[in-house]
Amino acid sequence: MIAETIDPIGTTFCNGAVDAWGVNALDEAGFEGTTHGLFSRISQLSSLGFMATALMGAYVGGVDIAWPWLLGAAGFLLSALAGTLLHERSRDAAGQGHRAMRAAVHAKIGSGLRQGFGIRSIRLLSLAEAITLGVMAPYWLQWPLLFKDGYGTGVWVVGWVFCVLGLGKMLGAEAAARILTLTSARPRLLSGLTIGTGLTLLGAGFLAGRPNQALVLLFLMNAFQGAREPLALAWFNEEVAADARATMLSFRGMVATAGGAIGLLLGGYVTDLWGIPFAWKVAGALCFLTVPCYLALNRRSKFTSAV
């Protein structure tokens, strides 16, 4: 439980900060490419990294199920080292005392929450992420159990299933990178991708007893998700000003994590009562709740970052 508490804190600190650093640095350097193309490539690299080490983790886990934790910890230490080497400490921050730093952090958290809840587009896009993560979080904990039992083999099969799902996500991200979206078409496109995600998860729930067919549907679901995520992240980034980006991305991460936590509790309860297939059917149907969040932003001012 202690490890479980520390892990999301670290994750929340990292996710928003890395993206904000990258996007702000590129803005300052005059980057002229599309942000959703950039996020699509990052999604593909992430999928590739996950696939490679998930496969290793599954084989290592077959020997001793605790060893993947050690490998993961070593990897995170390595990425922390890489991040530290790339980090340029600002003179302002270096010169501040602890008290001033603490006051600045408190003020930033307060203003971040006010901004996040105060701007409609930020609120709705964050809510959409919360619903999506709430729906997907239980699924991520359940598919390894379902496929390991369904195929009746060792832990290694989970690594290969992970690769299939990762490949689906990479293909989806590739499609997103090639899509030239008009700003006005974005709500409908994201709604369509979300409906696709919901329908395929719903279908996987009906076919949970047939692993091969369920895997095909989950592959498609990951393709829809792989296309949706970079488009949604690019949209969110366009809604915030550069100086508020790290805070707003962290706000988005915080709201999504809260959605994930609620989803895990409710999903776990539903699974206990009626089993994994039924929980996936419910999750697939709940995916559709995201659609109004996107469509509500159909008519609005083009830029809402006056924060």
Nearest C-alpha neighbor of 161 from the set 218, 106, 76: 218
Does the footprint of other proteins cover residue 38 (CB under 8 A)?
yes
Does the footprint of other proteins cover residue 103 (CB under 8 A)?
no
Query: 38 or 282: whose CB is closer to other proteins?
Result: 38
Does the footprint of other proteins cover residue 45 (CB under 8 A)?
yes
Does the footprint of other proteins cover residue 54 (CB under 8 A)?
yes
In the complex, the smallest distance separating the C-beta of residue 50 from other proteins, rounded to whole angstroms, is 4
Taking residues 157 to 186 in sequence order and writing x for each that binds other proteins by CB under 8 A, - otherwise, the string is -xx-xx------------------------
The encoded tokens of residue 186 equal 């974005």
Taking residues 1 to 30 in sequence order and writing x for each that binds other proteins by CB under 8 A, - otherwise, the string is -------------x---x--xx--xx--xx
Does the footprint of other proteins cover residue 42 (CB under 8 A)?
yes
Helix (H, G, I), strand (E, B) or coil at 40: helix
Binds other proteins by CB under 8 A, chosen from 6, 9, 13, 78: 78
Query: 17 or 289: whose CB is closer to other proteins?
Result: 17
Does the footprint of other proteins cover residue 292 (CB under 8 A)?
no
The contacts of residue 124 (CB under 8 Å, 6+ apart) are 293, 294, 296, 297
Q: Work out the widest C-alpha separation in the chain, in whole angstroms.
A: 61
Cα angle 266, 272, 273; round to 5: 95
Does the footprint of other proteins cover residue 153 (CB under 8 A)?
no
Q: Are 134 and 148 in contact (CB under 8 A)?
A: no
Give the footprint of other proteins on residues 113-132 (CB under 8 A). Answer: none
Nearest C-alpha neighbor of 283 from the set 256, 304, 264, 303: 264
The DSSP secondary structure of 269-292, one letter per residue, reads HHHHHH-HHHHHHHHHHHGGGHHH
Query: 163 or 217: whose CB is closer to other proteins?
Result: 163
The encoded tokens of residue 217 equal 């549907």
Does the footprint of other proteins cover residue 261 (CB under 8 A)?
no
Query: 9 or 145: whose CB is closer to other proteins?
Result: 145
**Which residue in the block uniquely carries the two structure tokens 């990762």?**
166
Helix (H, G, I), strand (E, B) or coil at 123: helix
The beta-strand segments (E) located in the chain are: none
CA pair distance 283, 260, nearest whole angstrom: 12
CA atoms within 13 A on the CB side of 65: 3
Query: 113 or 265: whose CB is closer to other proteins?
Result: 265
Query: 15 or 181: whose CB is closer to other proteins?
Result: 15
Does the footprint of other proteins cover residue 46 (CB under 8 A)?
yes
Binds other proteins by CB under 8 A, chosen from 144, 192, 277, 292: 144
CA pair distance 270, 277, nearest whole angstrom: 10
CA atoms within 13 A on the CB side of 110: 6
Query: 104 or 145: whose CB is closer to other proteins?
Result: 145
Q: Given the rule CB under 8 A, which residues bind other proteins? A: 14, 18, 21-22, 25-26, 29-31, 38, 41-42, 45-54, 56-58, 60-61, 65-66, 68-69, 71-72, 74-76, 78-79, 82-83, 86, 141-142, 144-145, 148, 155, 158-159, 161-162, 268, 272
